[in-house]
Every structure is written in C-alpha cells, then in structure tokens.
C-alpha cells in the first residue's frame, strides 16, 4: 500500500512538471521555431544552389515563422553558420580567436566555439539574387531608407506580379518623399504589366503615354513585343499584329527561310551545293545513270539530282518553282506576345505618343548641344575677332594664347588645392599673363609687319610652333589635369534624354558675360570709342588725336587676354596639352570670317551657325565627327561664296578695305 501511494505521488508530480514544461513559451517556440523548419532543408541551406534555394525560400516565405526575414538577410550576407557536430544553424559574431554562436530563434548567446567547429555558409551571387528577390516585401517597409531603396531597385530589375500588393501597401507608410514617388512609379509600371482588372492595366498604360524614361519605354515595348509566324492560313484566336507580304514587307528569301525553320518546306540548294552533291555521288563515270560529261547543263544536273532523290540517296530539296509555290501557299504574319488586343492597342498608342515626345526632347537636346558648342567657339574666337577686325592681323598664334591660359590654370592649382579658389584666381591671372604676352608679341614682331600681311601670317605661324615647343619643354608632352570644382561636376538633367554638363553651362554663362562686357567696353567707354574709330578709319582717327599704334597694342593685348580666359574655361573639360590651341584655331578663323570681321555680334552669329551646323551634321552621323567637320567646312566655303563679308558685315569705309 505504501508503495502504491508513493508511486501515485511520483506520477502526479511528473504530470504537473510535464504540463508546466508544455505551457512554457520558450518550449513552444522550440517546437514551432525557425530552426526546426531549417532542419527540413538542412542540406539545401548548407550547400546552396540557385535552383534548390528557390524551393527553400518559397517554403520559408509561405510558413512565415518569426525571424524569417532576419534569417534571409543574414543568409544573403553570409552571416549564417552550420555547427558541424549536429548540423544546426546559428548566427555568429567574432569573439577573440573564435566565434560566439547566437541562437536563430531566441537570439540568445549559446557559447563560444572555434572556427573549425562551424562552417560559414557562403551563397554565390545567383543564390543571393534569389534571396534578395524574396526579401523585397520585407525590405519595402524596413527602417533603413537605403534598404528600402535597394528593394525598389530589385523590383525594377526583376518585376513580378506578386510585388504589386506589398508595394501598394508600402506606399501608405512611406515617409521619404523621393522613395514614395519611386514606389508609386514602380507600382504603375507593375500594374501596366500584370495588373487586374483590365481597366486598371489600360489606365496605367495610358498614363505611360509620352513617358520617355527607359523604364516606361521598356514596359511598353514588352507589351507591344511581336513574334514572327507562318501558316497555311491566317490562324484564328491569336492577336495578329500585321500580315506580311513577301517581296514588300519581307524578301522572298526571308519568307522561305521562315518556312524551312517552321518545317513547312524543304531547304533550298544553291548551284554550288548541287554540284558538290553530284560530285560526291559519281559512280562509274555517271550520277544516277546520267554520264558525267552530260552534266554540263542545269536541266541535266536537275534530272540527276531528282533521280538521286527517288533512290533515297540524297535528301529532298526545293527547286525554284517549288520555292515560289511554297511561298504563295502560305501566309506570313506577326503576332503580339500579349494575347489581349486591347492591351496591345493601348501599348502601341502609348508608344506612338512616347516616340513623338522623344523626338521633341531629342531636338531640345540637340539645341542645348549646339548652344554649348557655340559658346565654346565664341569664347575661343572673340579675341581673334577683335585683333583681326581692328588690326587686320592674321594671328596664327591665337590658339597658343588659349593653351597658355589653360596651363596658367594648371599651375595655379599646383599651389592652391582649393579648386574653387584656384579657379577664381586663375581667370584674372590667365588674362594678365596672356595680355602681357600679346602686348610683347605686338611690340616685338607684329608692329613691324602691319603692311605685310603674308609676312605677318608666316611670323605668327612660326611663333605658334615656338610656343608649342616651349610648352613641351616646360610641362612635357603628357596631358595635364585642370580639375573643376565639385559644384561644376555632374550635369543638369531634365530627363533621360535632355542633359548638359555643369561645366558647359558655366562656359555658356561665361560667354554671355564676355558678350555683355565687350559690348559695354565698345559702346560705353573711351577705349571702345577709339577702337571703333580706328576700325572704321585709322587715318581719320589719327587726325582726331587718337594714337592708332597704342590702340593696336591694347587691342591685341585685350584679344590675347580674352583667349587666355577662354583657355581656362576650355581646359576644365578638354585635355590640356601643348597642342590644344591648334584644335581651335581653324574654328576660330571660320567663326570670325563667317560672322563678319570686326563685329562682336557677327562673331556670335558665326559661332552659333558653326556650332549648330556641326552638331546637326553629327546627329546624322554620330560615329564620325571628322566627317561632320569636313562637311561643315564645305558648307562654309559655299556660304562665303554667296556672302563673302559674313553674316554681319561692316559698314562705312572699313567695309571696303
């Protein structure tokens, strides 16, 4: 009796303990936690491959146990370890020479182990891509904005219908305005591809009309994608895009190739192929009973081959008449991959609107490129326009003043690492250096050659060569960097089509400033009045007390100084070398001659004409800029034949000189 009573008490105690253990939350987690599910896919997780990982990820997402998203993130980032002794998975962190294991379910530290007791799971890029796609619904609402942006990038790379619902839900909780706009745009793209009902898809496609972004155009092109087809009769129940007529829409050769590819006709055989086959089947001096010496006509060769066909020696082939009959007996067409005609019609309409908008933006981009190039030519040529217009001197060394200005900016940056400050110092310093060099050249060489234009041209050409060699001796032949400030880096972008670099915008603004400054000097100052007087009539100006010799010196110095400033601006995006001036001397002379000698407005008009003309020609043949420059020169030669004094010709006595 005592034994039975004792046994009863022990049984009751064990029952209470068991019930208490079953009621503990941590035991319930152990039974239904993530670790138990991971063990069902132990080998697939420990040795991941792309195909097997897809099944594992789908099972994890479908079960959605606590910690699933964190495990996927850690797995993707190679932060999951397998314990060799029992195959369990853990997170780990470094602890001295070993690792501290962390339980996947509870997050509790299990203990420290050596690196030899565990194996780090290292998924390859393909596996990480599968995991990243599965993480998208979780990452869309992550606290870190960078993770949300990465999830949106993953959606953009591989769109899927299952992403519509989580993306729509994530928009409501998004606090970042930029990310919210990005989510709304991606949602519209997803609905256009996979949305339901049809009315929602049609509305989304209609909203994409005129959208020139790469994403929108890609979606519309997918919806309007076509595939070629051929059949005896036009099939019913398919979304036909258009019927093709052989000889007009496709060549007869292409049509027959489609028949052969579809298994609806025998392959064609060329004359050389026919001869080769017959030569390979010569037996006792004949082919299928036809003597070799009789195979000198096409009809005989055809007869011999047909005999080989009947004997089963060679495969069937199509003759010319058979090819024509086969093409005439079939219809050729294109079908949309998308089966819904309303969807494809909406996509085609949206693509037409997009193509129109694309053309307008391409024209705008071409205009901006033309303005940018015109401003560069204007800066390079305005100094030459002043010296050539006032003094009549053909200065072949004008490009070297541009080069001197660029090297001045480079030297300034060697001593002043702040690119903004160095640029502010380099601009006036380049003007001073090249102004002084221009005055020195005028005083030492050009003033003695005013009445001898050919000798002036040869002398300045020799000086240009000497200045180039001097630059090579000082700076070497390698390219020297002239770095722009950070606020000039990047570009102003209106959309995926229209953009212009900040440096070119700055050059355009600088050109406008110089235009305004020169107009002020020439119209509102005494120096400008004297320059215009000397330009119109040097003799009369001298009789009025103006010193033409002094005006020539100052004018040449001013033109050279402006070329120096242009060199700094051009050097910010072009290569700074000793030969860089030679790249602009021809364009500068063309700008001055086409615009009109000695006129600021003429120089502006000439720069605009040449800049837009060159960009326009390059638009027709963008891969060959040399051809564009050649055509431009030919056009200018013809232009000068009809208007030799330029667009804006001088008036008065100077016009006849």
pLDDT value for 21: 37
List Cβ neighbours of 181 (8 Å cut-off, separation of 6 or more). Answer: none
pLDDT band at 403 (very low <50, low <70, confident <90, very high): very high
Averaged confidence pLDDT in the chain: 83
* Structure confidence at residue 542 as a pLDDT band (50, 70, 90): confident
Could you tell me where in the chain the CATH 1.10.3470 domains are found? Answer: 359-656
Q: What is the pLDDT of residue 649?
A: 66
Instruction: Single out the residue of 365, 350, 275, 268 nearest to residue 315, CA to CA.
Output: 268
* Percent over 70 (pLDDT), the chain: 92
Verify cis geometry, omega within 30 degrees of 0, for the bond prior to 197. Answer: yes
- Tell me the per-residue pLDDT of 236-261, one tens digit each, with 9 for 90 and over: 888 999 999 998 989 888 888 898 88
Percent of the chain past pLDDT 90, that is, above it, reads 21
Q: Name the residue with tokens 């212009």.
A: 500
* Closest to 382 measured CA to CA, from 570, 551, 550: 570
How far CA 581 is from CA of 380, 407, 437, 588, 607, in Å, comes to: 9, 11, 15, 10, 17
Higher pLDDT: 215 or 30? It is: 215
pLDDT of residue 436: 93
SS3 468: helix
Higher model confidence: residue 560 or residue 542?
Answer: 560
Q: Is domain 359-656 classified as CATH 2.60.120?
A: no
Encoded tokens for 256: 């027959």
pTM of the model: 0.68
Helix/strand/coil for 312: coil
Residue 615 above 90 pLDDT? Answer: no
Contact 568, 541 (CB under 8 A): no
Band of pLDDT at residue 51, cut at 50, 70 and 90: confident
- Contact status, residue 386 vs residue 515, Cβ threshold 8 Å: no
């Amino acid at each position: 009796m005592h034994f039975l009573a004792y046994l009863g008490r022990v049984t009751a105690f064990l029952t209470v303990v068991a019930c208490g253990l079953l009621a503990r939350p941590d035991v319930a987690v152990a039974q239904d936690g993530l670790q138990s599910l991971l063990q069902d896919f132990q080998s697939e997780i420990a040795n991941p491959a792309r195909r097997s990982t897809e099944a594992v990820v789908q099972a994890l997402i479908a079960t959605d146990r606590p910690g699933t998203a964190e495990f996927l993130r850690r797995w993707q980032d190679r932060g999951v370890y397998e314990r060799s002794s029992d195959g369990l998975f853990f997170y780990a962190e470094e602890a001295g020479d070993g690792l501290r294991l962390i339980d996947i379910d509870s997050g509790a530290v299990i203990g420290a182990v050596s690196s030899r007791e565990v194996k780090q799971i290292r998924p390859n890029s393909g596996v990480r891509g599968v995991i990243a796609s599965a993480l998208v619904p979780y990452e869309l609402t992550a606290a870190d904005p960078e993770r949300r942006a990465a999830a949106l990038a993953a959606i953009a790379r591989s769109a899927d219908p299952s992403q519509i619902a989580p993306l729509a839900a994530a928009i409501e909780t998004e606090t970042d305005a930029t990310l919210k706009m990005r989510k709304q745009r991606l949602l519209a793209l997803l609905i256009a591809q996979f949305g339901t009902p049809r009315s929602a898809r049609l509305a989304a496609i209609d909203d994409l009309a005129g959208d020139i972004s790469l994403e929108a155009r890609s979606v519309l092109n997918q919806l309007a994608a076509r595939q070629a087809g051929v059949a005896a009769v036009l099939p019913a129940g398919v979304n036909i895009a258009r019927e093709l007529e052989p000889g007009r829409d496709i060549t007869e050769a292409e049509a027959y190739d489609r028949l052969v590819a579809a298994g609806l006709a025998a392959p064609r055989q060329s004359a050389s192929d026919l001869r080769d086959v017959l030569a390979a089947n010569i037996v006792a001096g004949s082919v299928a009973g036809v003597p070799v010496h009789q195979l000198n006509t096409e009809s005989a060769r055809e007869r011999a081959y047909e005999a080989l066909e009947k004997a089963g020696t060679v495969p069937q082939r199509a003759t010319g008449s058979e090819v024509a009959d086969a093409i005439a007996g079939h219809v050729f067409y294109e079908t949309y991959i998308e089966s819904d005609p309303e969807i494809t019609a909406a996509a085609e309409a949206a693509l037409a609107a997009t193509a129109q908008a694309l053309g307008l933006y391409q024209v705008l981009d071409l205009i901006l490129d033309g303005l940018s190039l015109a401003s560069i030519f204007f800066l390079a040529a305005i100094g030459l326009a002043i010296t050539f217009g006032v003094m009549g001197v053909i200065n072949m060394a004008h490009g070297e003043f541009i080069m001197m200005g660029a090297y001045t900016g480079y030297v300034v940056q060697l001593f002043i690492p702040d690119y903004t400050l160095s640029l502010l110092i380099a601009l006036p310093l380049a003007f001073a250096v090249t102004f002084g060099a221009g005055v020195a050249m005028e005083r030492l060489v050009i003033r003695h050659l005013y009445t001898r234009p050919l000798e002036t041209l040869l002398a300045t050409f020799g000086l240009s060569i000497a200045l180039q060699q001097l630059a090579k001796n000082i700076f070497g032949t390698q390219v020297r960097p002239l770095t722009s400030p950070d606020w000039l880096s990047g570009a102003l972008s209106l959309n995926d089509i229209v953009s212009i670099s900040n440096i070119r915008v700055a050059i355009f603004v600088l050109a406008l400033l110089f235009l305004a400054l020169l107009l002020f000097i020439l119209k509102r100052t005494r120096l400008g009045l004297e320059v215009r007087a000397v330009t119109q009539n040097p003799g009369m100006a001298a009789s009025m007390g103006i010193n033409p010799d002094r005006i020539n010196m100052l004018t040449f110095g001013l033109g050279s100084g402006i070329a120096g400033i242009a060199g700094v601006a051009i050097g910010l995006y072009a290569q700074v070398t000793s030969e860089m001036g030679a790249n602009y001397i021809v364009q500068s002379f063309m700008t001055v001659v086409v615009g009109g000698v000695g006129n600021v407005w003429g120089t502006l008009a000439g720069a605009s004409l040449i800049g837009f003309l060159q960009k326009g020609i390059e638009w027709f043949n963008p891969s060959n800029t040399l051809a564009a420059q050649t055509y431009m020169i030919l056009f200018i030669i013809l232009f000068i034949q009809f208007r030799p004094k330029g667009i804006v010709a001088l008036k008065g006595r100077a016009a006849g000189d």
